[in-house]
């Protein structure tokens, strides 16, 4: 199986703050750090570190060339990433508060330059049995989903950031839908956190999704789909920065599922990787290796 992430690459400007800035307020940031980020980049690195043969397709500007180095160091194939001389790399302004929570503003930049000609060139290298992961930070998602399914690929989709356009996508063609409680609530138009297992089942039934994975932060995760309904409690980890935790979970769940063939084991592996990631600063920089995640699980007994 070959794995393709078609998605965003960002430069993350992460500011440590005592609390999230509110309307009309000016506060002093304690520290500024630059990290490689973007949901596509994060998931590609998570998949690679989970043991998959992962590639990333997308676009950056000349200012983002260091992102290629980060990806290659993590074992990700970068040959499908376009470097555009007339575009700025996407970036994110991230507030990281004292509790480890985050608040994120994203600028699309080169991520919004994805077009059908690039998609056709990239997908020509993939076919039946291969995996495509997508996120809602690039354009032409409907075309990508349909083109991938025409080729017999398995499609995983993370609808973040959530927009009104998500409901119009052909979600019935999605094999694995990954979303948090806010995104699930937006799709269901009700509070998904009150009954997350029911929410995951309803997402599958209403939108025709084959498998839905709902992440709940400190309340763990819930899966519903072809393997029934399964829950996974959150594993212990003192939060420092939760940026990228969902992408880490997604990459390790898919990595665990397609190497072990077991939803329960995949949920547990993904929870371990996420528990480690939140104890470290940054998004992609915080993603552990599979060996680290497995060692963490062994330490729990």
Where exactly are the structural domains of the chain?
Answer: 3-300
Q: Quick one: pLDDT at residue 255?
A: 97
Residue with tokens 């009309």: 24
CB 253 within 8 A of CB 213: yes
According to CATH, what is the number of the domain 3-300?
3.40.1190.20
Q: Quick one: pLDDT at residue 151?
A: 98
Angle at the Cα of 184 from the Cα atoms of 183 and 190, rounded to 5 degrees: 110
Q: Quick one: pLDDT at residue 100?
A: 83
262: Cα separation from own chain's centroid: 20
Report the b/e string of 161-181 with b at 16+ CB within 10 A: ebeeebeebebebbbbbbbbb
> Prior bond to 47 cis, omega within 30?
no
Number of H helices, E strands in the chain: 9, 13
CB 181 within 8 A of CB 196: yes
pTM over 0.75: yes
Query: Taking Cα atoms as reference points, which of 241, 267, 242, 245 lies closest to residue 254?
Result: 267
Q: Quick one: pLDDT at residue 1?
A: 93
Contacts 24+ apart (CB under 8 A), 192-199: 193/219, 196/222, 197/222, 197/224, 197/229, 197/231
Q: Quick one: pLDDT at residue 102?
A: 86
Q: Quick one: pLDDT at residue 51?
A: 96
Q: Quick one: pLDDT at residue 283?
A: 86
* Distance from C-alpha of 188 to C-alpha of 182, rounded to nearest angstrom: 10
Q: Quick one: pLDDT at residue 284?
A: 93
* Distance from C-alpha of 100 to C-alpha of 209, rounded to nearest angstrom: 32
Report the b/e string of 214-252 with b at 16+ CB within 10 A: bbbbeebbbbbbeeebbbbebbebebbbbbbbbbbbbbb
Residues of the chain below pLDDT 50: none
């Amino acid at each position: 199986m070959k794995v393709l992430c078609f998605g965003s690459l960002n430069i993350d400007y992460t500011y440590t703050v005592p609390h999230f800035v509110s309307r009309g307020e000016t506060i002093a940031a304690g520290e500024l750090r630059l990290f490689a980020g973007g949901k596509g980049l994060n998931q590609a690195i998570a998949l690679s570190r989970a043991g998959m043969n992962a590639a990333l397709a997308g676009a950056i500007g000349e200012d983002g060339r260091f992102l290629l180095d980060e990806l290659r160091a993590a074992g990700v194939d970068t040959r499908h990433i376009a470097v555009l001389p007339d575009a700025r790399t996407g970036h994110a302004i991230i507030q990281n508060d004292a509790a480890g929570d985050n608040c994120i503003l994203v600028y699309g930049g080169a991520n919004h330059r994805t077009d059908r000609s690039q998609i056709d060139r990239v997908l020509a290298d993939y076919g039946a049995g291969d995996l495509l992961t997508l996120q809602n930070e690039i354009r032409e998602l409907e075309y990508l989903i349909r083109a991938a399914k025409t080729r017999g690929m398995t499609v995983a989709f993370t609808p973040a950031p959530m927009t009104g356009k998500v409901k119009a996508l052909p979600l019935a063609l999605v094999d694995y839908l990954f979303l948090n409680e806010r995104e699930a609530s937006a799709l269901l138009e009700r509070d998904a956190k009150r009954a997350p297992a029911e929410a995951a089942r309803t997402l599958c039934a209403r939108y025709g999704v084959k498998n839905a994975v709902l992440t709940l932060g400190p309340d763990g995760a819930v899966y519903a789909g072809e393997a029934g309904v399964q829950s996974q409690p959150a594993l212990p980890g003192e939060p420092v920065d939760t940026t990228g935790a969902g992408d880490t979970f997604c990459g390790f769940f898919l990595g665990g599922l397609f190497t072990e063939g077991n939803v329960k084991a995949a949920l547990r592996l993904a929870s371990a990787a996420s528990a480690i990631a939140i104890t470290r600063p940054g998004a992609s920089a915080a993603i552990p290796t599979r060996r680290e995640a497995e060692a963490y699980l062994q330490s729990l007994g």
